[in-house]
């Protein structure tokens, strides 16, 4: 039996980000405060389009 760590899903597309839920925020890749954990693809879109602050 394998012990699987729970991983975060992307806040936008719900894809598995592979980031463990117990990873400290400051160590996470592709994490946006206010939005949450994103996958690499969504993060790139966010950064590209900037006003991601305004997303609900
Ligand atoms: Zn995503």
How do the domains of the chain map onto residue ranges? 7-54
Interval between CA 32 and ligand 1 midpoint (Å): 12
Q: How many other C-beta atoms can be found within 10 angstroms of the C-beta atom of residue 32?
A: 18
Q: What is the pLDDT of residue 55?
A: 52
H helix or E strand, kind and range, residue 48: helix 40-49
Ligand 1 is an ion; its neighbours by CB within 5 Å are: 10, 12-13, 15, 39, 42
pTM of the entire predicted model = 0.74
DSSP H helical ranges for 1-56: 40-49
How confident is the chain (56 residues) per 10-residue block, as mean pLDDT?
A: 82 95 94 91 86 55
């Amino acid at each position: 039996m394998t012990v699987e760590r729970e991983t975060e899903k992307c806040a936008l597309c719900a894809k598995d980000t592979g980031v463990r839920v117990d990873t400290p925020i400051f160590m996470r890749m592709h994490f946006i405060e206010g939005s949450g954990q994103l996958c690499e693809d969504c993060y790139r879109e966010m950064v590209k389009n900037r006003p991601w602050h305004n997303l609900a």
